[in-house]
Structure 1
């Protein structure tokens, strides 16, 4: 017989899967978005090409391919992006990512995976560590939205993740573009799946798949921090649809990501 905590955790899991789970990127930006094809600003997320003014983060194996290579190069056949590990952890958030190369992409992937979607105290502590100066208002908004999500799934407004409930994010591809001339502000798009499971409940039979999340990062005080500055959000762009076997996806900058 399930005890009270198990029943609450199982019920929360089922409701989470039913309504869709808030993406960590939306939490970081301080707004809720059901992952059902809507972006964090409420607009349809039918992808469009990134603005011509953006520049791909270096290094990038798909930069300026030859015409013949473009026909055959796909994310699956191109060299994958090996993401560097963070050098530390603080209050549940990874810190210490390299300034150049795949540093910003790694920061976005780790943050998407780690940010709590149901523990309002945890997400406040995490975002306090990894939010850029000038974007502090987004922390209070994120906490508020996490509390709203808790209420939507039948939990008290404030508290921890239900006992036994785990939510796992798997980012399989990403692309990153500089939003300014010196590359200190980067928009990172991620293609991911998300699974909610209980230790006694078996695998998730309805995981979220083929999801897109965006995170904008700013180099500050020796690390990559999440920014919600409207001037950068307005320039974040939209990627082409991700297909691991598509030359178009490779040309657009999508890379298979591997955590080193």
Structure 2
């Protein structure tokens, strides 16, 4: 085994549990129902519980709440899932072109986290340059710096691509979100995800990272959803209840399963 292979194996063992890129930009989540905050929600938490939308679709946006009896038995696993909006294009490794209404913000958040590079510092910079809002560019440098630190930690050169033959995959399976302004132009999006990494001779990852939560604040800018780290909006971020796919409480909190068609 040469030095490159050893570095790749160390990276596979250690990077999975480190959400450095996500943490550097206040990473991504998903939307169940987007709902504006009233004045009494200015403490950073929603003014009321999210509206449950077990029958909503990606094309319809927020729908009528389920009846009280239905919400007692429905769970994220049994409620109708959200079908994500597909992007209309790609730029520098990042999906672009998500709709303003419906589940556009959720879709952007999910796709961006799924696609975000973990070990390639140049790719991370290019992706975040596409998905980051004006005024939040400092978060890009921070993310790139964290990726380089991670590379050094696992024995790789500080700058470079993902080791040859190594595959890192992030998968979001559930999401929810709130609007942080009255117009629905700023959305705090949360996601539940897993991450796996495999090497050429390994059939599968026998120790994937599971049951992870992360969030992002997105703002509608120049016809698309972009990541913002503006303190005004970051201060209004909320903390969701834990995600449990078989819990009616999780559905009531706003968690829904997401599907990429």
Identify the TM-score tier after normalising by the shorter chain.
Answer: 0.7 to 0.9
Q: Does residue 243 of structure 2 align to residue 246 of structure 1? A: no
Q: Does residue 10 of structure 2 align to residue 15 of structure 1? A: no
Question: How big is the shift at 1:234?
Answer: 1.3
Which whole-Å CA distance do the structure 2 matches of 1:23 and 1:96 have between them? 26
Q: Which 4+ runs in 1 deviate beyond 4 A? A: 53-58
Q: Does residue 201 of structure 2 align to residue 179 of structure 1? A: no
Which whole-Å CA distance do the structure 1 matches of 2:6 and 2:151 have between them? 16
> Partner of 2:46 in structure 1?
51
> Partner of 2:198 in structure 1?
197
Long gaps (5+) in structure 2? 28-43, 54-59
Q: 1:249 to 1:50 in 2, by over 3 A?
A: farther
Question: How big is the shift at 1:54?
Answer: 8.2
Which whole-Å CA distance do the structure 2 matches of 1:50 and 1:173 have between them? 20
- TM-score relative to the length of structure 1: 0.85
- Aligned-residue RMSD, C-alpha: 2.1
Question: How big is the shift at 1:24?
Answer: 4.4
Which whole-Å CA distance do the structure 2 matches of 1:76 and 1:55 have between them? 18
Asked if 1 retains the 8 angstrom alpha-carbon contact of 2:173 and 2:258, the reply is: yes
What does the per-residue CA deviation read over 1:109-151, in whole Å, with 9 as the maximum and x for residues that have no partner? Answer: 1111111111111111111111001101111111111111111
Q: 1:24 to 1:104 in 2, by over 3 A?
A: farther
Aligned residue for 2:102, secondary structure, equals coil
Q: How many residues align?
A: 238
> Partner of 1:112 in structure 2?
113
Q: How does 1:79-228 map to 2 (within 5 A)?
A: 79-228=80-229
Asked if 2 retains the 8 angstrom alpha-carbon contact of 1:27 and 1:117, the reply is: no
